[in-house]
Amino acid sequence: MITMNQLDQKVKNNKNGQDATQKAAILNIKIASRHLWLNAAAYLTIFGLEYWLANLGHSAVLRADAFNNLSGIISTLLLMIGLRAASQTEVVARTRRYPDKLAKKRLPLSWLSRFRFQTVFTLVSSILMVVVAFQIIFSGFDHLHGATVSGAPQPLAAVGALIASLMMLVVWFFNKRIGRRLHNVALLASAQDSLGDALTSIGTLLSIVGTVFLGVQWLDPLASIVVGVFILYSGFLIFRTSSLNLVDYFDPKVEAQFTQTIATLSAVHQVVRLKAHYSGDLVAVDVLIAVDPAMTTLKSYELGEDIKAVMRQKYGVADVTVAVMPDIKLGD
């Protein structure tokens, strides 16, 4: 028979594990935010260089790539805002009822739900990518049909594309490396974005070189259309992932693994319902289990703490909400 001291120790261990998860998540967010500042600086440098050389070198595809990197600056800033919001433990609200006595009121934020802010801003940044992609595609068609005549690209434009390609490959490498190490959804989304930017810059370089040496002027606007389509595809992938996370979609195969693990506990007669969802980078689980109708409140509470411990240790689940119902078959 479990004693109250033993139960208190289990509760304390789970609480300590939850606090450690929260601190680690906030620390990872702060590290990711500092890294995104470097991303913004790199994007700003590339945009200025490419836009300048695109005008000097008369290259539509390099100009399209420059605006793609401009969207990267805005996307990075949006991700930084989302990470900043996710790291806050409380919000300050102004009260209208007593403006003189209490100018500000501090409201606590749910320790887990606030991490959704980074997913929201990742979703917004993906929409921006889609908008910029359409602008690039329409501009490419405009140049392709001769509506805007700017002359054939010059070799100088290739220099800008080469520098941008190298810089974006470096940005992608560090985004991917740090994003995987921190398991940070914002950095991983930024890595996917920067990889697309690197590939489009490489494609821009090849199209400019081909246009200059082969003399095929329609290759430059055609390449800008291809760049726009690639950006559109990348934005759609990020939008899809973020929107699914926000509507609490979770991989059914992983949920089945969670269910199987909980069902292996001897006191659990049946896992009636289980739903997992993401809060930013963290996973939360709501589960309803059927137990012996004669089980005491103390034992059912202990079982809930055991489930939390198992899910945290085996899968790294940040939070588990356990609901208990009597096994009706045994009750009859």
pLDDT digits (tens, 9 = 90+) for 15-25: 666 666 666 66
CATH, residue 92: 1.20.1510.10
Last residue of a domain, one of 246, 271, 286: 246
- Could you tell me the two tokens for 256? 């089945």
Q: β-strands 282-291, 319-326: how paired?
A: parallel
**Which whole number is the average pLDDT over 175-197?**
77
Q: Which domain holds residue 59?
A: 26-246
Closest to 204 (Cα-Cα) out of 168, 166, 161 = 161
Please tell me whether residues 227 and 259 are part of one structural domain: no
More confident residue, 89 or 315: 315
Please tell me whether residues 179 and 56 are part of one structural domain: yes
Q: β-strands 282-291, 90-93: how paired?
A: unpaired
As a whole number of angstroms, the distance between CA 22 and CA 197 comes to 33
Closest to 225 (Cα-Cα) out of 73, 114, 68, 44 = 68
Please tell me whether residues 30 and 98 are part of one structural domain: yes
**Which whole number is the average pLDDT over 102-107?**
46
Is the confidence at residue 98, as pLDDT, over 50?
Answer: no
Closest to 161 (Cα-Cα) out of 194, 203, 191, 128 = 203
Domain membership of residue 7 (yes or no) is no
Band of the pLDDT at 109, cuts 50, 70, 90?
very low
pLDDT of res. 271: 93
pLDDT of res. 19: 64
Overall number of domains in the chain: 2
pLDDT digits (tens, 9 = 90+) for 207-221: 778 777 777 777 767
**Which whole number is the average pLDDT over 272-297?**
88
Contact 116, 88 (CB under 8 A): no
Domain membership of residue 225 (yes or no) is yes
**233 contact partners, CB below 8 Å, separation of at least 6:** none
Total H helices, total E strands in the chain: 9, 5
pLDDT of res. 102: 44
As a whole number of angstroms, the distance between CA 25 and CA 115 comes to 9
Last residue of a domain, one of 246, 280, 308: 246
pLDDT of res. 90: 52
pLDDT of res. 153: 64
pTM of the model: 0.67
